[in-house]
Structure 1
Amino acid sequence: MSIGLFRQVVRNLGSSDGTSSSQGGRYSSFRRLFKWLSPGIFVKRWLLTIYIGVLMTILGLAIWLKLTPIFWLFQTVDRAIEFLAKVIPNYLSGPMVLGCGLFLIFWGHSRSLGEISKVLRPDGGQTLLDMLWNNRRLNRGPKIVAIGGGTGLSTLLRGLKLYSANLTAIVTVADDGGSSGRLRRDFGVLPPGDIRNCIAALADEEKLLTELFQYRFEAGDGLMGHSFGNLFLTAMSEITGDLERAVVASSKVLAIRGRVLPATLTDVTLWARLADGRIIQGESSIGEADGQIVEIGCTPEHPPALPAAIAAIQEADYIIMGPGSLYTSVISNLLVPEIAAAIAARNVPRIYVCNIMTQPGETTGYTVADHIESVDRACGQKLFDAVLVQKNPPSAGCLQNYAEENSYPVLLDRDDVKQLGRSIFSVNVMEEDTTTRYLRHNSRRLAKALIHFYRRAQESSSHRSIKVATVARNIKSA
């Protein structure tokens, strides 16, 4: 059995959950055994090193003591084994002793590793083996750069962190409303709201941290309306000197999986020119302007990109844009020219996650092709090769609820999208809240679909490389 096939077996065992309750214990033990045997955990080699060290220690003592005590010890053991062989045949006594030895080895290691697991995870959520296995699997994941803002990006990250630890979120810093806008005006810091959401989404203890970071003070002079997460990041910015260092320090303190980076450290303000000639200033005002956007920009005009963000794009295996508000969450990042240029220069899978519903006042009446054209027009170049769209339509009750707010499904105009040179990846990633009748992307389904697209793109790239190499060899041989 090849290593790749063995890993596939272990992956299937790790993802299977269809065992019955009577077989659960045996199956769990069997699965753990396969995980231990799988290469790449980097534990078995060190256990073997310990055994070799023990044998060498015994041998060293034997040589140092001129074999005298060891000789008599071995002689005593030899006599005991010889006596045992006379009483019990060797074909029975040998396997019995061997079995006892192996049992003691595995039992001792199981108990010792179990005690270590209790220290590392007092809640008993994962065994040490599961922690090692997940850590190795996530560290081998692709280098993914996700670009956006708002709740869409945090939803995406919440799912992607289950597939890779090599995540970088590049977040817009143009927010000027709510708590972020107040902190921006009062302290002169970059708006922390979207970054706060992404940090919470990437944390291991996501539920508790999200509740803490999203907690809003309901009383107190100056505190009312502020979220704890925004105040935390603002304080860290004051202590460390800027938002980038604040995010890095916060990420270490909170042990998040991946990185969160602002697109720029420049204090930018979005503006939009509408079809009726109006020019709207400010991110929060653009969505409320109730007009068709024909041009969007920022002040200052060409803000410098954060160097770490450019480096992440240049090293990325996979680049994802969206979901989120088209102009104020996605395109606002791409108004940093260096970021758009770095994305355009990468020959890796690049995909845009289109919104499920139109956004009143920002994308009213937009189709999928309209979303793509807006990105191309704002950046002046083609930045992605494929678009992910929702496959199944929402329920009638949900559609009626959105229609009251002048919001409708984003229609897929296949011919127009193909004319724009984009492939279409249609999949069901929608989740409907039966109580509120609002839609959102399901983080797990969205991440699974995006990882599937990436693997399929990698396979296609490998096949193309093989064909090119074969043609080159044929030409050379001819």
Structure 2
Amino acid sequence: MSIGLFKQALHALNLESRGRTQTRVGQWFKWLSPGLFVKRWLLLSAGGVLLTSLGLAIWIKLTPIFYLIQLTQSVLEYLAAIVPNYISGPLVLGCGLLLIFWGQTRTVGSITKALMPAGDEELVDLLLTHRKLHRGPKIVAIGGGTGLSSLLRGLKKYSANITAVVTVADDGGSSGRLRREIGVLPPGDIRNCLAALADEEKLLTELFQYRFRAGKGLIGHSFGNLFLTAMSDIAGDLEQAIAASSKVLAVRGEVLPATLTDVNLWAELSDGRRIEGESSITEAGGSIVKIGCTPANPPALPRVVRAIREADFIIIGPGSLYTSVIPNLLVPEIAEAIASRKVPRIYVCNIMTQAGETEGYTVSDHIQAIDKACGRALFSAVLVQRKVPTAQALIRYAQEKSYPVFLDREAVGLLGRRIVVANVMEQDKETGYVRHDPHELARVLLRWYSRVQGL
């Protein structure tokens, strides 16, 4: 009985040791992966060792080296007499390379331990991920609200070359208060996008979304909004504040406001009313026939226009049609820059209609609203959710006068748009609310992009 248990223990230890060895060897061989720029430096290090030895030998006139060479020659001749050269040569060569590789690996291990004390991930894996992400396509995502931040959360797994263009027309909640009281551009949507693109996304999102529940003047404000407001004051403007914050937060890509102009939205409703202010438009509860901003034709941030002109892939939406997506496109330079590009351009249509904005809207209605606001067609394809939400979700949404956006294929076809249909929805089990699944949405978009690029 005892001997049997002892044998089982030895077998388990042997398997564990073998598993660790295989894992370690696998990690070593990752350093030979193409694109890491490591192999050349390993060879350069080996060459440096040889040149250093040669230089030392020349400097001391070879006197001690001569005897060392003689001794080495005698040992090698003795070994060659016992072991054939076609065995001893490769064996010694392998041992030399192993020592060099082992030394370099231990050096990198020491650096990794200093830079990454937690040790959650190997440095070579981080380098491979870094190289992969920075070789990803240059993506420009345009929108606002929770829709854009959700999209970014998925896109950052495929590319670090992301530019998020965010609306600055928000005038409600904490952002609206800061805008009225301090005179800063609304930081709310920018805050969400920075958190979505950050490496430590979960912790940072919780921190940035934290709202003060006490304190005179602090109640209702989010920490992220106050942080960006303070950074704007220190850096001079919102653009510089975002750039500085991105460095501090280790953000993949960049987040840019569509304009630095203090713009206010207005909308004309079908009943003749004219509503001023982004938050008031939705609350008015009418049918929007025209949307605009004051001042009209605000100038675009130059970096936004440059990003669009250099983009490989342009994504519009998802987000509230009239208060998150279209406000960016009311900046003429942005609309012109998008229209002038021949790269893949796609609009991600909302899953559900929105009360006060898009009641009764079909997919083609969403497209026509964007075309009308911009005066031109900005995208060549539209992504639409395939399956409808569950009955529980439909009942909950119906109480808010919100329904699934109907895909009217014929009307969309007449508008000259390709239709991409996919299941990119996730549903909250507790609340029943549906959102775009960040990772599935990004996967579908990148797959479509790759297919279009290959045509």
TM-score range, shorter chain: over 0.9
Q: Could you say what secondary structure the match of 1:389 adopts?
A: strand
CA distance in structure 1 between the aligned counterparts of 2:31 and 2:213, rounded to whole angstroms: 51
Q: Could you say what secondary structure the match of 1:287 adopts?
A: helix
Aligned to 2:71: 76
What displacement does 1:226 show? 0.3
Q: Deviations over 1:311-341 (max 9, x none)?
A: 1111111110000001100001000111101
Aligned to 1:367: 362
CA distance in structure 1 between the aligned counterparts of 2:216 and 2:444, rounded to whole angstroms: 46
Aligned to 1:429: 424
What displacement does 1:89 show? 4.1
Q: Could you say what secondary structure the match of 1:37 adopts?
A: coil
Q: Give the aligned residue type for 1:217.
A: F
Relative to structure 1, is the Cα distance of residues 367 and 21 closer, same or farther in structure 2, using a 3 angstrom cutoff? farther
Q: Could you say what secondary structure the match of 1:388 adopts?
A: strand
Moved more, 285-294 or 225-234: 285-294
Taking the TM superposition and a 5 Å limit, the aligned residue runs for 1:93-108 are 93-108=88-103
What displacement does 1:103 show? 3.0
Q: Could you tell me which of 436, 445, 449 is aligned with 2:440?
A: 445
Relative to structure 1, is the Cα distance of residues 29 and 423 closer, same or farther in structure 2, using a 3 angstrom cutoff? farther
Aligned to 2:230: 235
Aligned to 2:3: none
Aligned to 1:141: 136
Q: Is the 8 A contact 1:180 1:191 kept in 2?
A: yes
What displacement does 1:65 show? 2.5
What displacement does 1:98 show? 3.4
Q: Is the 8 A contact 1:117 1:126 kept in 2?
A: no
Relative to structure 1, is the Cα distance of residues 263 and 393 closer, same or farther in structure 2, using a 3 angstrom cutoff? same
CA distance in structure 1 between the aligned counterparts of 2:432 and 2:94, rounded to whole angstroms: 61
Q: Could you tell me which of 235, 247, 263 is aligned with 1:268?
A: 263
Q: Is the 8 A contact 2:259 2:300 kept in 1?
A: yes
Aligned to 2:348: 353
Relative to structure 1, is the Cα distance of residues 23 and 401 closer, same or farther in structure 2, using a 3 angstrom cutoff? farther
Aligned to 2:334: 339
Give RMSD over aligned pairs.
1.8
Taking the TM superposition and a 5 Å limit, the aligned residue runs for 1:299-314 are 299-314=294-309
Aligned to 1:320: 315
Relative to structure 1, is the Cα distance of residues 28 and 345 closer, same or farther in structure 2, using a 3 angstrom cutoff? farther
Structure 2 residue 269 is matched with structure 1 residue 277: no
Q: Is the 8 A contact 2:32 2:38 kept in 1?
A: no
Q: Deviations over 1:224-258 (max 9, x none)?
A: 00000000100111111111111111111212111
Q: Could you say what secondary structure the match of 1:77 adopts?
A: helix
Aligned to 1:197: 192
Structure 2 residue 249 is matched with structure 1 residue 254: yes
Aligned to 1:166: 161
CA distance in structure 1 between the aligned counterparts of 2:22 and 2:407, rounded to whole angstroms: 45
Q: Deviations over 1:243-302 (max 9, x none)?
A: 111111111121211111000011000011111111111111111111111100000011
CA distance in structure 1 between the aligned counterparts of 2:320 and 2:17, rounded to whole angstroms: 49
Moved more, 91-100 or 384-393: 91-100
Relative to structure 1, is the Cα distance of residues 81 and 21 closer, same or farther in structure 2, using a 3 angstrom cutoff? closer
Taking the TM superposition and a 5 Å limit, the aligned residue runs for 1:379-390 are 379-390=374-385
Q: Give the aligned residue type for 1:263.
A: A
Q: Could you say what secondary structure the match of 1:401 adopts?
A: helix
Q: Deviations over 1:79-115 (max 9, x none)?
A: 1122223344445444443343333233222222222
CA distance in structure 2 between the aligned counterparts of 1:71 and 1:415, rounded to whole angstroms: 89
Q: Is the 8 A contact 2:133 2:158 kept in 1?
A: yes
Structure 2 residue 184 is matched with structure 1 residue 182: no
CA distance in structure 2 between the aligned counterparts of 1:358 and 1:242, rounded to whole angstroms: 36
Q: Could you say what secondary structure the match of 2:315 adopts?
A: strand
Count of residues paired in the alignment: 441
Q: Could you tell me which of 210, 217, 221 is aligned with 1:215?
A: 210
Moved more, 394-403 or 324-333: 394-403
What displacement does 1:23 show? 9.1
Aligned to 1:226: 221
Q: Deviations over 1:333-354 (max 9, x none)?
A: 0001111011101111101001
CA distance in structure 1 between the aligned counterparts of 2:282 and 2:415, rounded to whole angstroms: 26
Q: Give the aligned residue type for 2:406.
A: L
Q: Could you say what secondary structure the match of 2:133 adopts?
A: helix
Q: Could you tell me which of 123, 127, 130 is aligned with 1:132?
A: 127
Q: Could you say what secondary structure the match of 1:174 adopts?
A: coil
Q: Deviations over 1:194-218 (max 9, x none)?
A: 0000111111111111111111000
Relative to structure 1, is the Cα distance of residues 69 and 21 closer, same or farther in structure 2, using a 3 angstrom cutoff? closer
What displacement does 1:123 show? 1.6
Once the two structures are aligned, what percentage of the paired residues are identical? 68
Q: Could you say what secondary structure the match of 1:288 adopts?
A: helix
CA distance in structure 2 between the aligned counterparts of 1:344 and 1:25, rounded to whole angstroms: 55
Q: Could you tell me which of 398, 406, 409 is aligned with 1:411?
A: 406
Q: Could you say what secondary structure the match of 1:291 adopts?
A: coil
Which runs of no fewer than 5 residues in structure 1 stay unpaired?
Answer: 1-19, 461-478
What displacement does 1:361 show? 1.0
Relative to structure 1, is the Cα distance of residues 24 and 167 closer, same or farther in structure 2, using a 3 angstrom cutoff? farther
Q: Is the 8 A contact 1:168 1:258 kept in 2?
A: yes
Taking the TM superposition and a 5 Å limit, the aligned residue runs for 1:109-120 are 109-120=104-115
Q: Is the 8 A contact 2:46 2:100 kept in 1?
A: no
CA distance in structure 1 between the aligned counterparts of 2:359 and 2:373, rounded to whole angstroms: 18
CA distance in structure 1 between the aligned counterparts of 2:17 and 2:391, rounded to whole angstroms: 43
CA distance in structure 1 between the aligned counterparts of 2:62 and 2:445, rounded to whole angstroms: 65
What displacement does 1:77 show? 1.2
Relative to structure 1, is the Cα distance of residues 27 and 154 closer, same or farther in structure 2, using a 3 angstrom cutoff? farther
Which runs of no fewer than 5 residues in structure 2 stay unpaired?
Answer: 1-14
Relative to structure 1, is the Cα distance of residues 122 and 235 closer, same or farther in structure 2, using a 3 angstrom cutoff? same
CA distance in structure 1 between the aligned counterparts of 2:312 and 2:279, rounded to whole angstroms: 33
Moved more, 409-418 or 72-81: 72-81
Q: Is the 8 A contact 2:80 2:88 kept in 1?
A: yes
